């Protein structure tokens, strides 16, 4: 029998379809199955909780993965997002159910920033709730859509409610914004996005500036500040009114003695009154996220650029306060 693809359309389409399926198996399906069988989660990673898994489902359903990636490339421009991604970062992801594939969280576009390490870069639960309710309340130039339907407006929030301190110009005219279950789940998922350490690869953010540097002499402190601090305190250091305190004119930042400043960055703070304003939002501790070098750089930047003073905080100063706190506990 002579094979004539020019005249036999059924033969042509059948052959093309067969080749397509064969190539799909060889190039995509078989390698994917093999990777899922042999790829192990990183030792320090944790499986998602039920709330975090529901948050992942919402993250996919709302299309967040179309604008945000979860893949850090080994390029200089990606350094603020964390260490380069490894295959073990995705080993715990599984198909959603029998009919739906494993969520494609890697993404392909960065309309918004990469979220691989957002739980470390932005560990403030309050910030995430406000950002979800109205992104412009904390990032003026944001083009991300708001998700007000994830929240409720209550006149009298109950004891179990999470009241969100949305800045006045972005909040409702009456009542208090309260986080709904969907808001709680998606924030739980975002806070769970913390790149685990790779054994033998050094510190969490070894790609960021600060290793072996004692005092700030360049823009490295500003770079770290923009990565870890500016989302709450803002790039200009003026904070978000009534929610996140300003660093400009803060007596701690301007003080000659830097010990209190170091303690706050290392161990966090909450319920503090600054210049007559009480801030209920907690400052998350950075002791497990940043090295002593990086903390010294950030503090020097804040004290010089925002406190309008001088500082010579060293790595040894930060290490001593860290050590003293550990001994007292």
Q: What is the CATH number of the domain that holds 246?
A: 1.10.760.10
Do 174 and 232 fall into the same domain?
Answer: no
Q: What is the pLDDT of residue 216?
A: 38
Do 184 and 63 fall into the same domain?
Answer: yes
Is residue 311, in this structure, part of any structural domain at all? yes
Is residue 32, in this structure, part of any structural domain at all? no
**Encoding tokens for residue 156?**
């009298």
At which of 150, 173, 191 does a domain end? 191
Is residue 156, in this structure, part of any structural domain at all? yes
Chain segment 7-65, per-residue pLDDT in tens: 788 888 899 999 999 999 999 888 877 876 777 888 888 999 999 999 999 999 999 99
Do 90 and 175 fall into the same domain?
Answer: yes
Q: What is the pLDDT of residue 114?
A: 96
Is residue 65, in this structure, part of any structural domain at all? yes
Is residue 35, in this structure, part of any structural domain at all? no
Contact 157, 178 (CB under 8 A): yes
Is residue 235, in this structure, part of any structural domain at all? yes
Do 121 and 59 fall into the same domain?
Answer: yes
Do 58 and 180 fall into the same domain?
Answer: yes
Q: Nearest-CA neighbor of 184 among 113, 133, 118, 112?
A: 133
Is residue 94, in this structure, part of any structural domain at all? yes
At which of 191, 209, 238 does a domain end? 191
Do 154 and 113 fall into the same domain?
Answer: yes
Contact 230, 267 (CB under 8 A): no
pTM given for the model: 0.79
- How far is Cα 94 from Cα 102, in angstroms, rounded to an integer? 5
Chain segment 116-128, per-residue pLDDT in tens: 999 999 999 999 9
Question: Quick one: pLDDT band at residue 213, thresholds 50, 70, 90?
Answer: very low
Q: What is the pLDDT of residue 28?
A: 86
Do 187 and 225 fall into the same domain?
Answer: no
- Mean pLDDT is lowest, of 56-70, 123-137, 215-229, 262-276, for 215-229
Do 186 and 224 fall into the same domain?
Answer: no
At which of 191, 207, 235 does a domain end? 191
145 or 92, higher pLDDT = 145
In the predicted model, what is the mean pLDDT of residues 80-105?
83
Do 71 and 177 fall into the same domain?
Answer: yes
Do 56 and 154 fall into the same domain?
Answer: yes
Contact 166, 137 (CB under 8 A): yes
Do 258 and 143 fall into the same domain?
Answer: no
How many domains, the chain? Answer: 2
Is residue 38, in this structure, part of any structural domain at all? no
Do 183 and 235 fall into the same domain?
Answer: no
205 or 238, higher pLDDT = 238
Give the domain range for residue 81.
Answer: 50-191
């Amino acid at each position: 029998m002579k094979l004539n693809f020019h005249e036999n359309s059924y033969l042509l389409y059948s052959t093309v379809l067969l080749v397509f399926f064969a190539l799909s198996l060889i190039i995509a399906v078989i390698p994917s199955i093999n990777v899922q069988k042999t790829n192990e989660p990183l030792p320090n990673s944790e499986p998602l909780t039920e709330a975090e898994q529901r948050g992942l489902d919402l993250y996919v359903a709302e299309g967040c993965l179309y604008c945000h990636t979860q893949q850090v490339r080994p390029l200089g421009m990606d350094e603020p997002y964390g260490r380069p991604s490894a295959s073990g970062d995705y080993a715990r992801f599984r198909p959603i159910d029998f009919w739906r594939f494993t969520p494609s969280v890697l993404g392909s576009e960065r309309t918004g920033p990469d979220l691989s390490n957002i739980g470390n870069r932005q560990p403030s639960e309050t910030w995430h709730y406000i950002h979800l309710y109205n992104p412009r309340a904390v990032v003026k130039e944001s083009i991300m859509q708001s998700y007000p339907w994830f929240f409720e407006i209550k006149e009298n929030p109950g004891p179990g409610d999470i009241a969100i301190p949305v800045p006045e110009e972005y909040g409702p005219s009456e009542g208090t914004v309260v986080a709904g279950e969907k808001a709680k789940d998606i924030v739980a998922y975002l806070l769970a996005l913390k790149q685990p350490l790779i054994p033998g690869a050094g510190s969490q953010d070894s790609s960021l500036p600060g290793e072996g540097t004692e005092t700030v002499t360049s823009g490295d402190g500003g770079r770290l500040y923009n990565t870890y601090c500016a989302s709450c305190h803002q790039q200009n250091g003026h904070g978000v009114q009534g929610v996140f305190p300003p660093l400009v004119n803060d007596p701690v930042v301007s003080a000659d003695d830097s010990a209190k400043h170091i303690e706050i960055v290392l161990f966090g703070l909450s319920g503090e009154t600054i210049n007559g304003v009480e801030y209920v939002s907690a400052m998350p501790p950075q002791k497990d996220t940043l090295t002593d070098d990086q903390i010294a750089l950030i503090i020097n930047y804040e004290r010089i650029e925002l406190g309008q003073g001088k500082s010579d905080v060293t790595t040894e100063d930060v290490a001593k306060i860290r050590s003293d706190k550990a001994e007292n506990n």
